[in-house]
Amino acid sequence: MPSKADVKAWKAQLVAQAEQQILKLTDSDRFKQYLNTLAKFHHYSARNIESRV
């Protein structure tokens, strides 16, 4: 069974990895294109917008 310190370090590592992935996603040109498209079709559902991107 892992110690409390091991669990705490593991959780911190997971959070750091998640933050890196989120930053990578939100900095991509594809995501920016998606947001620009989303802004044009504010009355459409997310699924309909995805089919247009």
Q: Which domain holds residue 24?
A: 4-52
Total domains, the chain = 1
pTM: 0.52
Q: What is the pLDDT of residues 2-50, one digit of tens each?
A: 899 999 999 999 999 999 998 888 888 888 888 888 788 767 777 776 7
Name the residue with tokens 């933050």.
19
Cα distance between residue 16 and residue 20, in whole Å: 6
Query: What does the block give as tokens for 46?
Result: 């997310």
**pLDDT band for position 51 (50/70/90)?**
confident
Cα-flanking dihedrals φ and ψ of residue 13, to 5°? Answer: -65, -40
Q: Encode burial over 1-36: b for 16+ CB neighbours within 10 A, e otherwise.
A: eeeeeeeeeeeeeeeeeeeeeeeeeeeeeeeeeeee
